[in-house]
Structure 1
Amino acid sequence: MTYREAIDQAIKAWDSIRWHINKSEQSKSAVHVLRLLLKTPGDDKLLRQAIDTFLGTCHEAFNYAGVNYVQLKPTSALYANLDKYIKGANPPLISLPVVASSSSPRPGIPPVAITSALPSVGLSVASSSSSSPAVSSSSPASASSRDTSALLVQISRHQAEWSKIAITDLPTGKHGVYKYTDDNKYADVPRGAVSGLLKREPKIDEQGLRAPEFWALFGAIVMRAPKKFGRCLHCSAAVVHSLVFDPFFDNCEIAVMGSTEYDHYFVCVGSSMGKIRTGLGIAIDVWDSNNPAKPSSTSTHPLAKNFTYWSEAGLEILCPIPTESRAALRLFVKSRFPDRA
C-alpha cells in the first residue's frame, strides 16, 4: 500500500464511524486538509509533514494556506486510524528532504491553532502573521489552485454553524413545488425582523434583494437565533453574514447568485468578479447541503460552473458585496442589530 493509499484508507475508516456524531472540529479540519493534499499531484512531502504533525512525531504546527494545524489528540479515532494505516504503508515518496523541527516539544498542545497568515500569492488577509504557507509557486495555475485551497479551508471553518440551519421548504421533485415543514412559520420571523429594520432605511429598502445591507443584516438575525430555520434566502444570508464578519474575506469578492428559473439563491466567492461571473469561483449552497433528503458534510463546490444550479437558465449575480465596503457593512449591522455579537 502506498503512503497516499494508506492515508486515504485511514480517512475512509474514520468516515465509516457513523455512530460517532461528535467528531471534533480538530479532526474534521485535519481530514479536510488531508483530502486537499491527496488531490494535489506531486511527491508526498507535504503529506508527510502533515501526518508527522498530526501524529506528534514533529512538534511544529503544519501550515497550509494560512492555517496552522497541530497534533491530533492521541485518543481520537482519526489519530488511531492514521497511526494504524501509516505503519503498514510504504515510505512516502520524497524528492526533497523534509526538515525536522529543532524546537523542543511544547508542554501542552491545543486542540487546534489558527493564525491569519498571509498567503504569498493572490489573497491579502486583514491580519497578518510571520508564518508563511507551506507551498509556494510562481506558476499562475499553481497560484490559482493555491488561492482556492486557502478559501476552501477558511470557508470550511463556518460549515458547522451553517449546518445548524433546518430547511423548512423541502423539494418535492416538481419544479417550484415544496413541502413546508411545521417549523416554516419560524422562518418568517427573521424575514419580518429585517423588513422592519430596513423600513427605516428607505434608500436601502427600495433596493430590495440587491442591497448588501439586506443580506448582511438578514444573515445576522438568522445566525443569532438559538434555533435556526430557513429557506434558501435565509441560508444565503447566513453565508454572506459569516463571510462579511470574517476579515479573511475582505479582499475576496462575494456575490449572491439568483436563479429565476428555480427561484433559488446561493453564494459565490472568488478572487475577482470576473472569475465569479464565468463560474470559476466557489459556490456555497447551504440550503442544498442541509436538505434532509440528501444531507452533505459540506455546502461548498470548488468550481461553481460544475454546480447543479449554475447551468440552469436565469442565473445572475443578484447582489455583489463590494470589498471596499466590508468595514462599513459590519458597522451597519452592529449599529442596527447590536445583539449580533
Structure 2
Amino acid sequence: MKPVELIKQPILEEMELFEEKFKEAMQTKVPLLNRITHYIIRRKGKQMRPMFVFLVAKMVSNGDFKERTYRGASVIELIHTATLVHDDVVDDSNRRRGFFSINALWKNKIAVLVGDFLLSKGLLLSIDNDDFDVLKLISIAVREMSEGELLQIEKARRLDITEDVYFEIIRQKTATLIAACCGIGAASVNASKEEIEKMRLFGEYVGIAFQIKDDLFDYGEEKIGKPTGIDIKEQKMTLPLIHTLNTCSEQDRKWLIKSVKKHNHNKKRVKEVIQFVKDNGGMEYTIEKMNEYHKKAMDILETYPESEYKTSLKTMVNYVIERKK
C-alpha cells in the first residue's frame, strides 16, 4: 500500500464525506463558475491538508468528530485552492499538477475572480457557522503566506538572505498553512488553547521539514520530480546554497553570487554550483536541519497516547522527509 493510502486508512469514511461536502460548498448559481469549480474538484491532489485536519481532530479527541471538523477542512481547501489559482496568474504558469491551470483555460481575469470567489466562500463558511476561531487561524495563515512571498521577492533581488531570514520565509510561505490545518483540527473538536497552539506548532515543524526536503531536490538526481538546478535558475536562495555562501571563502562567495545572478541559465555553470555546494557540506547541513524539525514534530506526537490516528500522523511526518518528489 502507498504511504498516502496508508495514512488515509483511519479516516477513509470521513474523507469520502468531506469530498461530498466540499462539492456542495463550491455550488453557485453561475454556470461558468460551476464548470470551473467542477474542473478544480476533478484535478485535486493528494489532499494532505484535509487529512491533517481530520487526523489531528481524531487524535486529540480520542476519535470524536464534529461537523465543525468538516467545515474546517473545507475552509482550508477553499482558501488553499484560491491561493494556488492566484499563484498561477502571478507566475504566468500554464500547468498545475500536470493539468492546464485555470488561467491557461479561462484567461487571467476569470482566474483572479475565481480565486476571489473561493476565498470569500471559505470566509463565509466560517462566518455563517460562527467558527471564528477557525477563521482567525486561517486568516493568520493567508496573511503570513503573502508576507513570506513578498519577503522572498525582496531578498531574492539582492541575494542577501541569512539563515534566519530563510527560515522566516519558509515558515510563512509553506509551514503556516500546514500549521493552520493542525490548529484547526484541534480547534474543531473544542481543544484547549494550549493544545491548539501545540498542534499548530506541530504543523509548523512538519511544514518546515517539508520545504527543506524540497530544497534538497534541487541538488538531487535527474530522476526526481523536478529537474535539478531549477531553484538556481530562478535565483531562489535555498538552505544548501545559503549555508555554503556563509561558510566559504570571500572569493568563492563572489563566484557563487555571480553564478546565480548572471549565469543562472548556463547549464554547465549551474552544475558547477551544485557540485560546489555538495563538496562544501551544503547537503549534509541541510539534511541535519531537516532531521531536527522532523524530530521536533515527532516529539510533540509522542506526548499523545497510542492510536491509529497518531500512527497515521507519524507515517505522514516520515513521508514528508522520505518522499521522492
Question: What is the TM-score normalised by the length of structure 2?
Answer: 0.31
Name the structure with the higher strand share: 1
The structure with the larger Rg is 1
Higher RCO (C-alpha under 8 Å, 6+ residues apart): 2
Name the structure with the higher helix share: 2
Question: What is the TM-score normalised by the length of structure 1?
Answer: 0.30
